[in-house]
Amino acid sequence: MDHVDFGKYLSQQRELRGLSREDVSRETKIPPSLVAALEAGQVERLPERVFVLNYIRAYAQVIGLSPEEAALRYEEVDRAVPAPSPAQLEMARRKRAYVILAVLLAVLLLGAGLFLVLSGKLPPPAAR
């Protein structure tokens, strides 16, 4: 069983009881987008694990399942999925850092160019 299968399980249990996603969202105060992500098994759209476990407990209680059993099922699924290696995490961190650096550099260059044009030290681009 993976996250997608677990999400299908929750969705099927909800539908068997005649509840909509909106009903679950309203009763649990979980945003509808997170209920949809949980049911679709889209882990990347979910918050930290501690929040997800609490969401699952609340979701299960609303649809009439045992909250602790649902949380245990999720933990089994979550343990089965391998965590990213330190090398992968470092690569992702560096990629984010390079993107942020490039955006900051572009903003700085545009700001400097705008300052020079407004201060009269450079002619406006249309006047060239």
Kindly indicate the confidence band of residue 103, based on its pLDDT and cuts at 50, 70 and 90: very high
Rounded to two decimals, the pTM is 0.63
Q: Tens digit of pLDDT for each residue in 70-97? A: 999 999 988 876 667 888 889 999 999 9
Which CATH code of 1.10.260.40, 3.90.245.10, 1.10.10.10, 3.30.450.20 fits the domain covering 3-80?
A: 1.10.260.40
Buried (b) or exposed (e) across 62-76, using 16+ Cβ within 10 A?
A: bbebebeebbebbee
Residue extents of the structural domains in the chain: 3-80, 84-127
Look-up of token digits 């700001």: 111
Cβ of 107: how many Cβ atoms within 10 Å? 10
> For position 81, what pLDDT does the model report?
64
